[in-house]
Amino acid sequence: MELEAVCVDVAMCTRLLVEAGILGYSGHVSARVGEREIVIQPVDDVRAELAPERLLVVDLDGSVTKGEGKPPSEVFIHTEIYRARPDVGSVAHFHHDRTTLFSMVEGLELVPVKNHASRWSGGIPVHRDVSHIDSPAKGAALAATTGDCHATLLRAHGEVVLAESPRAVFVDALHLVENAEALSQGLLLGQVDRLSDEEIASFLSTFRRERHVEKVWKYYATVAAHAGVLPETWLHA
């Protein structure tokens, strides 16, 4: 995708995550552009009003190469994951309390209980550093914790979701939170029957990820545009 289109998708993803109650006054979405650069919002821009033209182009050392402003202090969450994972095209970091709880209760793991949580059949590791990921070394440590997984819990802090595009990272963040909320509610009722390996394999055998991502993205973007959360023109960018 061209830079302009990537920036529109990152801005849309950010606003949609705010509208969904997943992203708040902090947190950020990024996307890879080229081999050694990413786009990410300036630290002080309000997430609910983020505009594509405000996005910064940043290299993998965290230095701004295009745009005005400073990147978030935790830009190294993004840059070091991209450095370690050439398969990743977009990263979202947010702070969703009910999901974060699974990094705070001893012996409780965030496991797949809804079918779309099959995305995390390989596990969701917990990164034990509770401080801000504000240096390359801390970012590299987080990337090491994440390994080949598609999401990580930051202990007592928040979440990091990895996907192939901003649209996919929005859908994955949505499903991660849905799964955490369903598991939280299920634990109040009794013992939760997590998805088995066989059930996950059965679901994935018929799942068409690309089609699903576009379906969910189109729905939420259209609803948001009709509500005035997004400009209608962004739907056709």
Summarize pLDDT for 25-71 with one digit per residue, the tens: 999 999 999 889 999 999 999 999 999 999 999 999 999 999 999 99
Give the range of the structural domain holding residue 125, as residue numbers without chain letter: 3-229
97 in any annotated domain: yes
What the block records as the tokens of 11 is 């801005």
- For the beta carbon of residue 206, count every other beta carbon within 10 angstroms: 6
- Give 105-167 as a DSSP string: STT------SGGGGGGTT---EE---S---SHHHHHHHHHHHTT-SEEEETTTEEEEEESSHH
- Asked whether the predicted pLDDT for residue 1 surpasses 80, the reply is no
What is the rounded average pLDDT of the residues 169-191?
97
For residue 58, give the DSSP letter: E
Q: What is the CATH number of the domain that holds 49?
A: 3.40.225.10
Q: Which pLDDT does position 182 carry in this prediction?
A: 97
142 in any annotated domain: yes
**Per-residue model confidence as pLDDT tens digits over 138-151:** 999 999 999 999 99
% of the chain exceeding 70 in pLDDT: 100
What is the rounded average pLDDT of the residues 183-207?
97
Rounded mean pLDDT of the chain? 97
**For the chain, what is the domain count?**
1
Q: Which pLDDT does position 237 carry in this prediction?
A: 74
